Amino acid sequence: MAGKADRATVVDMGEVIRRDESPPENPEFSPAEIGAIAHLYRGEVYRCSVWRTRLDTTTNWAVVTLGVALSISYAAPDASPLPLVLVGVLNLFFLTLEARRYRYCDSWRIRFRTVEKNFYAPIIDPGQVCAEPGWRQQVAQDYVRPQFRISYLHALGRRIRRSYLWIMLIQLAAFLGKVAVHPTPVTSLDEAMTRADVGLIPGEVLFAGGILYLVAFSGLAIFSAIADRKDYLEKDLPYPDAIY
């Protein structure tokens, strides 16, 4: 009996091959452990959902403040374009908050996606789906020493691509419309620059700042898109996981 416990017999092409039997790398989960993992999975999904809601909150704030700025700037012929400038500064603040929250949301998402792919998927379809080696150790280490899986600049770029690039384009279009046609169409570039003046700040400075604003946002969006594309191709990630 001891020999049977220590040795395994393998039949291959009519030959009997004996080899040492090694214990499995990852033993099967007990019923109690499966229940604990199910509760853990629900908790990670809930945490990700909460942080995702917080992302939507700051995006809603950005949209509402832009709407208020549009209403004020176009309320009267002599209304200043200053609210459209200030809302850009405010939206930058919202974007920095949202990028920080996104990094936490992404951490929780990666945890529960790892459990989905390596625990639930093999249970649902054991014949076609195999767990990745070392996934348990990966999740355990992430609980012991949590780490962000995405850089701050990458998070900024993703949030710009999802929402803030379009908010910024509307803001810039509204500013140009205010200067160019409200209350009457401009007849020269000098007149447009004069209309864009805000207090002691000349219109040329505001136009230069707007161009820098657009280039910086677009650059971060392109940077994050290239990084996501690289992960999608090199790590063979599902497309939703690569661009979340």
Which pLDDT tens digit goes with each residue over 117-150? Answer: 999 998 888 887 787 888 999 999 999 999 999 9
Tokens of 89: 């500064």
Mean pLDDT within 7-11: 39
8 φ, ψ (degrees, to nearest 5): -125, 145
- pLDDT, residue 11, reads 38
Considering only residues 159 and 182, tell me which one the structure prediction assigns the higher pLDDT: 159
Task: Please provide the average confidence, as pLDDT, over all residues in the chain.
Answer: 85
Tokens of 182: 């409200």
- pLDDT, residue 128, reads 74
- pLDDT, residue 182, reads 82
Q: Are 48 and 108 in contact (CB under 8 A)?
A: yes
Considering only CA atoms, which of 149, 152, 46, 155 is closest in space to residue 107?
149
- pLDDT, residue 1, reads 43
